[in-house]
Chains A and B, each alone.
Chain A
Amino acid sequence: MKRLWAIFTKKRLARELDDELQTHLDLMASDFETQGMTPEEARLAARRSMGNLAGMKEEYRDARGLPRLEMLVQNIRYAARVLRKSPGFTAVAVVALALGIGANTAIYSLIDTVLLHPLQIANLDRIVNVIGTLPGQRLPTQTTSPGDFADFRDQSHGVEHVAAWYENNANLTAGGEPQRVVAVRVTTGFFDALETQPLLGRLFRAAPDESGLPHVAVLSYRFWQTRFGGDPGLVGRTMRLNGEAYEIAGVMGREFQYPPEAEIWTPMKLEPRDRASHDTMFLAMVGRLRPGVSVGQATAEMDTIARGIARRNPRNHEQRGAKAELMSDNISGNAVRPIMTMLMGAVGFVLLLAAVNVANLQLARVSLRAREIALRFAVGASRWRIVAQFLTESVVLSLAGAAAAVLFAWWATRALRAMMPPEMWKYIPGWERMGLNGRVLLFTLAAGTAAGIVSGIAPALFASRTQLEDTLKEGGRGSVGGARRHRVRNMFVAAQIVLAMVLLVGAVMMVKGLRLVTEPAPNLEAAHALTMRITLPEAQYADAARQRNFAQRALDGVIAVPGVQAAALIRNLPYSSVHVSSSVLVAGRESDRESVDAADQTISARYFEAMRLPILAGRAFRDADDENGAPVAIVSESFARREFPNGDAIGRRIREGPADASNPWMTIVGVAGDLRTNPFAFGFEETVYRPFRQVPVDSFSVLLRTVDPGTVAAPASAAIHAVDAELPVYDVMSLEKVFGLQVSPVRMIASLMGSFGVLALILSSVGVYSIMAHSVSERKREIGVRMAMGAERSQVVWMFIRQSLWVAGIGMAIGAPAAYGLARLMERLLFGVHASDAAVFAMAVLVITSSAALASWSAARRAAGIDPVTTLREE
C-alpha cells in the first residue's frame, strides 16, 4: 500500500532523497576537511566519490516505489508520446496490425460459432451423441435401430437421458401454400437430455406409457418466425402434417436448434414391436454424461453395450461397436475442423507477416532514435529498462491496432455472414449469431498483446545494445550496430516473403480449385435449367402405380409450358446434399463379399438430355423401359471403369442389394458421363441409374431445360398443382442456384484464402519498400560518393532493386517448400486443389518478384534523385 502510494507521491520522495544525499555529501565533505582538505577540495572530492548519481537515484526510486507498475505507467505515457510524434510510422504500423489482428478476429469468430459454440445450450460440453462404429470407421449419426436404442437407453450408466431422434420430413398444410418442412421425431427424453425449456407453451416430456402420445408439435424459433411471422397466439392451434392434425404445443427459443436443420419436433412412439426391431437403422442418439464421466469412459461403456447387442443380433451387426462423441463435435462434422484449422493457420500467418512488418519498421527507427537511447543510458537507464520501454511501445502500438481491428472484424464478420446464402443457414447452427462477442474480444486482446511482443522483441534487444560511445563517435548521426542490424532487417524481409509466398500459393490454389468445383461436371449450363422438388404424401400415393401415374401427368404438364425444351425427374440432384447409395452385385461375382457400393439414382427417360450430361456408350432410357419392359440400368463412367475395366459394360448385368435379396437383374444399356455429388467430394461418384417407370420413388426433383428459368418457374409450378393442388412444390430455383448453394462454403473459404493472399502481398510489399527506403536514407553518403565518382542514376537504382530481389529470392526459395506443404494439406481437404501445380508456383514467384521490384524501385528512385554535392556537404 505504502509503495502504491509512493507512485503518487513521487515528487515528495524525490525531494527527500535529494535532502538525504545532500546531507551525505556534506558529512563526507566535512570528514574530508578534518583530514586536511580545504572546504572547496573537500566538496569536490565528496562530489567525485558519489559516482553516478542519476543511476543511483533511478535504482533508489525503483526500490522505493512499486517499481514495475510505476515503470509501466511511465513507459506507456512515454510510448504514447513517442508514437504521437511520428504519426506516419504509427499509422502504417497500426493499419498493418489492424488488418492482421482483424482478420484473425474474424476467423476466430467463425471458429467460435461453427466449431466451439454451434449451439447455445447449457452444459454443451456434457452432451454426447452415441454413434455406431465399425472397425476403423465411424458410422453416420443416424444409424441405430429402435431395438438397439432401447438397449442403449436401458443399459447405460455413464450417459443419462439417452434419447433418439430421426428426421422425418413432412408436407405441412396450415392455411396458405402447402410447404415441405424438416420435421424431427424425437423420443420423450430428448428435451430432458438437452436440458432445455420452450420460449412459448410446453414441451412433451417423458410419459410412463409412450404409446399414448398425442399429436403435438414444437416449432423452432426460425420456423415460427418465417412461417408464422412470430405469431404469439400460435400455441394451441392446429396444423396438418402429412394430412394428420397436430396441436402446436410450444415454440423453442432462438438458441435451441438441434438437429441444426429441424423446423418442427414431434414425439416418436416406440411400440413394443419397434423395441424388438434391430434391423432398420435410422435413429440418432443423444444423451448427457453423468457428472464425473468422461467422453472416453462413456465410449468404453457404449462399446461394451454395442458388443452385447451385436452378440444377440448377429444379423447386420457384424463387428459393430459404438462410441460417444461430443455433440458439438458431431454437429460441426469431420470436414469442418481441418478446414477451420487451415483458415486459422493461414490467418495466423497473415498476423505474423504484419508483426514482422512492424518489427522491421521499429528496427529502422532504432537507429533514428539512437541518440535518444544513448541519452537514456547516460542518465542511468538500465538495459532492461530500455528493453521494457521498447516492448511497451510495441504493445501499445499493437493494442491500438487491436482496437482498430475490432472495427475491421465487425465489418468482416458481417461480410462473412452475408457470403453464405440464407438457404444455407439452417445447415450451419448459430450462423446468424456469428460475430463479435466477449470470447472473441478476449481473443483479440490476446492476439494484440502477442503481436506487440513478437514485433517488439527484436527492436527492443537492438535498442538495448546501443553503444553510448559509438553513438557519440558517429557524430550524433546515430547509425547503430549497422551491419548486424541490416542483416536482421534483410532476414525479416526474407521472412515476410516466405510467409507471402505460402499464403499466395494457398490463395491461388484455392481460387483455382474453386473454379473446378462450381459445377458437378463441366458444360451443364446450369443457368439455363430450373429445378423444383416434390414429395408425394404416403396417404394418397402409397403404391408404385399412383407414383408412376403422377410422374407421367406432371411431366406431360411441365413439358407443355412454353419455353421448356426438356423435362425430367431425378431422385436426388447432384450437389443437393441428399444422397442415397446401395450395394450392387455384378453378374458372375455374386457373393456379399464382392458387392460394391454405388450411388443409387432414379431418373425419368429424358434426364440426360435435360441435364446435358453425355451418354458415352449405349443409349439413354426410353419410355419403353417401363414396368412391362426388361429391367435396365445405366452406369456412370467411373462405375463402368471400376467394374468393367475392359470397356465391356454394355450388356452386363447387375443387381441391387445383398446377395440373398431377390431384386431383379438389370441389364446395363448405357454409360453416362460422370458427376460429383458434392463440392467437398473427391473424384466422381460411381452411380447406377434406374428408370423411374421401373422403380418409382415418392420424392424427387423436376428438372426443366429452358432458356430463362425465372419465367418458367410460375407456370411450371402451376402445371404441377393442376395435377395435385395440395402438393407443396418447393425449392424452386435454377440449377445454377442449387449448385451455388452447395458451393457457397467452398466459395467462402476460397474468398478468405484469396484475401489472405492479397493481404500478404500488400504487407510484404510495404515491408520491401520500407527496408529499401530506409536503406537509401542510410546510404545517402555512399550514393553521393558513387555518383560523384561517375555512377549513373540507373546504376544506383539497379543496385537497390538487385538487393531487394536477392532478399526476395531467398525468401521464395525457403517459401516454396513451405507453400508446397500447405498445398499438400489443402489437397487433402478440398477437391480441385493440386499441390504439384507448377503454374501456381510460377505465378506466385512472378507476382512476388514484380511487387518486390516495384516496391524497391519506388524507394530507390529517391536515391537517384540525390545530389552528390549536397549530400557530401551535409556530412
Chain B
Amino acid sequence: MNERKAAVLLGSLDLMVLKTLEGLGPLHGYGVARRIEQVSEGALYLNQGTIYPALVRLEQKGWIRTEWGVSENNRKARFYSITPKGRKHLAEEADHWAFAAAIVNRVLEGKA
C-alpha cells in the first residue's frame, strides 16, 4: 500500500519540485525534500534516492538551474532555482494535472 501511494505521487514529483522552487526561490536538495514533506503533511517521505535524480532530470530539461552556494550550516551546497521555461512547463502541467485529477475524481465519485 505504501509503495503504491508513493508511486502515484512520484509520478508528479517533477511538478512538486517545480512548484516548491517557484514558491520558495533557490533551495538546496535537502530543502526541497523537506518542503515537500512538510506540505504533504508527512504523507510523502523523500529520500535522496528520489530527489537528486529528479533534480538532475529537471536540470537537463532546462526547467531548473543550479549554482553553488553556502548552506545554513556553512557547507558548500548546490542551490536549485526555477527557469522561465520551467515556470511555463509548471503552469501547463499544473492545469493538466488539475484537469486529470478532476476527471478521475468525478469518475470515482460517480461509481461510488
Binding site for B on A (CB under 8 A): 3, 16-17, 19-24, 26-28, 30-31, 49-53, 55-56, 59-60, 62-64
Contact = CB atoms under 8 A, between A and B. Distances in A.
Which of B28, B34, B53 has the most CB atoms of chain A within a 10 A radius of its CB? Answer: B53
| B contact face: mostly helix, strand, loop, or mixed | helix
A64 B56 contact: yes
Contacts, number: 65
Contacts of A23: 28-30, 71, 73, 75-77
B35 interface: no
Contacts of A52: 49
Given A27-B71, A49-B47, A51-B47, A60 B76 contact: no
A16 B66 CA distance: 12
Nearest to A24: B30
* Most central of A3, A23, A56 by chain B CB within 10 Å: A23
Given A20-B78, A23-B28, 10 more contacts: A3-B60, A19-B75, A23-B29, A24-B28, A24-B30, A24-B33, A26-B75, A30-B72, A59-B49, A63-B57
A658 to B, nearest CB: 85
B29 A20 contact: yes
20 contacts: A3-B60, A19-B76, A20-B52, A20-B77, A21-B52, A23-B28, A24-B29, A24-B30, A26-B71, A27-B30, A27-B73, A28-B30, A50-B47, A51-B48, A52-B49, A56-B47, A56-B52, A59-B49, A62-B53, A64-B56
Interface residues of B, number: 21
B46 to A, nearest CB: 11
Contact of A50 (B48, B77, B78): B48
Given A23-B28, A23-B30, A24-B29, A60 B56 contact: yes
Nearest to A53: B48
Contacts of B34: 31
A24 B48 contact: yes
A60 B48 CA distance: 10
- Counting chain A CB atoms within 10 Å of each CB, the highest count among B34, B52, B72, B73 belongs to B52
Contact of A16 (B48, B49, B73, B78): B78
A841 to B, nearest CB: 58
Interface of B: 28-31, 33-34, 47-49, 52-53, 56-57, 60, 71-73, 75-78
Nearest to A31: B34
7 closest Cβ pairs, A-B complex: A56-B49, A63-B56, A27-B30, A23-B77, A24-B30, A23-B75, A63-B53
Contacts of A30: 72-73
Contacts of A62: 53
A476 B19 CA distance: 49
A217 to B, nearest CB: 72
A17 B78 CA distance: 9
A3 B71 CA distance: 27
A717 to B, nearest CB: 85
B47 A60 contact: no
A568 B81 CA distance: 104
A19 B78 CA distance: 9
Nearest to A20: B78
A378 to B, nearest CB: 16
Nearest to B48: A56
A23 B73 CA distance: 8
Contacts of A64: 56
Contacts of B30: 23-24, 27-28
Contacts of B78: 16, 20
Nearest to A64: B56
